[in-house]
Structure 1
Amino acid sequence: MNEVTEEADRQSARVLMVDDDLDLSQETCAFLIDKGYQVTHAPNVPAARQMIADNPYDLFLLDLMMPGTSGKVLCREIATRMNAGIIMVSSIEDDAERIALLELGADDYIIKPFNQLELLARIRALSRRRQSNQASRTRLTQFGAWELVENERHLKHDDGRLITLTSSEAQILRFFTENPDVLCTREDLLAVGRVRQHGGAGDRSVDALIKRLRSKVEMDPGNPVHIQTVWGQGYVFRVG
């Protein structure tokens, strides 16, 4: 994306920050507005829901822990109902919590306190990915009894069932369908699935995502036909 296109993208990007930390929210919103984004703030989930009902948004910055309804609940609602970027913001560094959020549909996770420039870099990277996705037309990718609807994050079965995918699940499944019968390492899939701040070789984010995908696309997840494990190396996708 060139500088002119990126500047236009910033001017049109609508961001909602949902966080009960008013000082941080004021600072972050002011910073992003100064960088050209259209930014609004909601102090809690009920307020955010009302704003979402009244306005479209391209990106959400969601605090995990808030009084009342948590950001985790809103993350799931957004991931399953609209095509928008989600960056979770939290002081919690627990790997299990981070992995759970990525499985719910978050695109990224940044730990408080964070550098505003780091947040900006993550937002720009996510915006570039969304711009690239929107530039391509919706197409169907078929494997076995399934059809993957590109850019809409769901699967359609021959029997008419519709299965919703999280952002990371959709990214990895698209990568698989574009690279059948090719060994995909965990490192490959970490990059494709936009899993960040992972713990290196011992990170279990990919295994958790694969388990979720298998539960959605395999008739018998314990004996997978499509997503097969190559022990000690990674995974291979079979069209079936």
Structure 2
Amino acid sequence: MSSAAVTAEMLKRQAAARALEHVRSGMKLGLGTGSTAKHFVELLAERVAQGLEVVGVPTSEVTRAQAESLGVPLGTLDEYPVLDLCVDGADEIGPDLTLVKGGGGALLREKIVASAAHEMIVIADASKMVAQLGAFSLPIEVVDFGVAAIRRGIERNARAAGCQGLLTLRRRADGHVFVTDQGHLILDAAYGVIREPALLAARLAEVPGVVEHGLFINLASRVILAGADGVTVIDRA
């Protein structure tokens, strides 16, 4: 592993450790998905082993398997429909804390869990903070029926929101089509710059067959960024 990769993982772990400071016994926690959230689950498990009493609600089957293997008590949103805190990563973070998420393919569950929490803390290395969203392709989760028609609807409505770019059906490394935990497909939209995220979010939601998109608006209440100069905490105005 390169020194750059090691440094990136160290930064992710620093952000995760700072988020853990907000966890108290008795909390119901949304557990995010991805490389940064993985560090949070590992650190949380250490605290659980020391006597911290929490219940986690995972946002993916990958996170569920990790948390179970580490001894973190788990529940579901049916059992705990209101959560105290959700801790998750992000692929991009805008100045107003609007997020692009879904690089790992768990955006639907991630958004449901985040919406059920009183507070969402986003943990990331400083490179994820951007002046404008869109360099990272926007994941759009769709049903597996009529994908060509859904694609046309997405392209039409995205143009109405000032966005154009290539839509690519996500595939796994082995070439097979990527299928989400809910049995859906993902179209990754390379828009370049998303000047009006709220408008794009509204237009995408209008397309029949679109299950969810990776724009998280007014969900993150706090962002914890770890960089070369230390850890920075940004609260939503």
TM-score by length of 1: 0.32
Q: Which has the higher helix share?
A: 1
TM-score, normalised via structure 2 length: 0.33
